[in-house]
Amino acid sequence: MARKLAAGNWKMNGDLALVDGLATLAGNQSTDAPQIVICPPHTLLAQAAKACENSAVEIGGQDCRAEAKGAYTGDIAASMIAETGATHVIVGHSERRDGHHETNPDIRAKAQAAWAAGLTAILCIGESEAEREGSDTLTIIADQLQASLPDNATAENTVIAYEPIWAIGTGKVPTLAQIIETHDMLRAELTARLGDEGAKITLLYGGSVKPTNAAEIFQAENVNGALVGGASLKPTDFQPIIDALAAS
Ligand code: 13P
């Protein structure tokens, strides 16, 4: 059985005041809460990790460079993220694939860099609106997974997040049937490729997850949690999503 995870991606949002609120979020969790990971901007990683030390909340980066070090102005190595006390890093978010022209091989290399630094990679895949309308979604997603996930992925070092690009920040969400269809396919692909480990890898849904739709989304058997953008910026929105996941 895959572990449940509520992950928050702050993207280029948040400040020290929001980091201060993480201690309260951590303090509010019951013992049966799912795993919780917050991914703030890199400048806030160290403070966030300190605020959440020995608590129910873990911290992750939003991207890393595949290389271990070197002349890459503005980039950050996975080991630097790990040194802050973070445990996870998002790789292959569509905002990186689109905005920074990252390819599946780039993302594969980033996942390997994350593992080498002892981080769990939260690897994102998802189709565009045009791809969804062309009804190619399952093939496109399966191809992305195949090409961006390294072979020795385990349930310990990898989380997969399915985020349809057209659902991110738009308030549009796939139907429950569409979510079930994609996640069942992803589970089948992971199990076919990785056996028992594939059956245990946590599979997240992301894209306009809100307190109002979380419980419905978590009904899908192969949805083990969510990667939440906007609603992770407000503890009053994120907590009900955590609670819905715990109850699922
Ligand atoms: P929203 O929850 O704001 O749609 O963002 C989803 C996302 O991209 C998380 O990585």
Tokens of 61: 């980066």
Question: Which one from 58, 88, 93, 95 is the annotated catalytic residue?
Answer: 93
Q: Is 60 in the pocket of ligand 1 (CB under 6 A)?
A: no
Residue 68 lies in a domain: yes
Residue 135 pLDDT more than 90? no
Q: Using CA positions, which residue lies closest to atom 9 of ligand 1?
A: 229
Q: Residue 31's pLDDT is what?
A: 86
Q: How many angstroms is it from 168 CA to the middle of ligand 1?
A: 5
Q: Residue 143's pLDDT is what?
A: 97
Q: Is 171 in the pocket of ligand 1 (CB under 6 A)?
A: no
Residue 136 pLDDT more than 90? no
d(Cα 209, Cα 169) in Å, to the nearest integer? 9
Range 18-31 average pLDDT: 93
Q: Residue 146's pLDDT is what?
A: 97
Q: How many angstroms is it from 37 CA to the middle of ligand 1?
A: 14
Residue 42 lies in a domain: yes
Q: Using CA positions, which residue lies closest to atom 2 of ligand 1?
A: 229
Q: Residue 79's pLDDT is what?
A: 98
Q: How many domains does the chain have?
A: 1
pLDDT in tens, 53-80: 999 999 999 999 999 999 999 999 999 9
Residue 13 lies in a domain: yes
**92 with 103: CB under 8 angstroms?**
no
Range 149-169 average pLDDT: 97
Query: How many helices (H) and strands (E) in the chain?
Result: 11, 8
d(Cα 93, Cα 107) in Å, to the nearest integer? 9
Work out the mean pLDDT of the chain and round it to a whole number: 97
Annotated catalytic, 163? yes
The two beta strands, 202-206 and 158-162, are parallel
Tell the burial category of 32 from Cβ atoms under 10 Å away from its Cβ (0-12, 13-18, 19+): exposed
The residues that bridge with 88 in the sheet, in sequence order, are: 60, 120
Residue 29 lies in a domain: no
Range 124-136 average pLDDT: 91
d(Cα 4, Cα 139) in Å, to the nearest integer? 26
Residue 146 lies in a domain: yes
Range 146-169 average pLDDT: 97
Residue 55 lies in a domain: yes
pLDDT in tens, 197-214: 999 999 999 999 999 999
- CB-based contacts of 19: which residues, under 8 Å, 6+ apart? 40, 44, 47, 48, 51
Q: Residue 82's pLDDT is what?
A: 98
Measure the CA angle with vertex 100, ends 186 and 60; round to 5°. Answer: 60
Domain that holds residue 206: 5-23+34-247
CATH at 87: 3.20.20.70
The H or E element containing residue 202 is strand 202-206
Residue 3 pLDDT more than 90? yes
Residue 28 lies in a domain: no
pLDDT in tens, 161-201: 999 999 999 999 999 999 999 999 999 999 999 999 999 99
Atom from ligand 1 closest to the CA of residue 94: 8
Residue 192 lies in a domain: yes
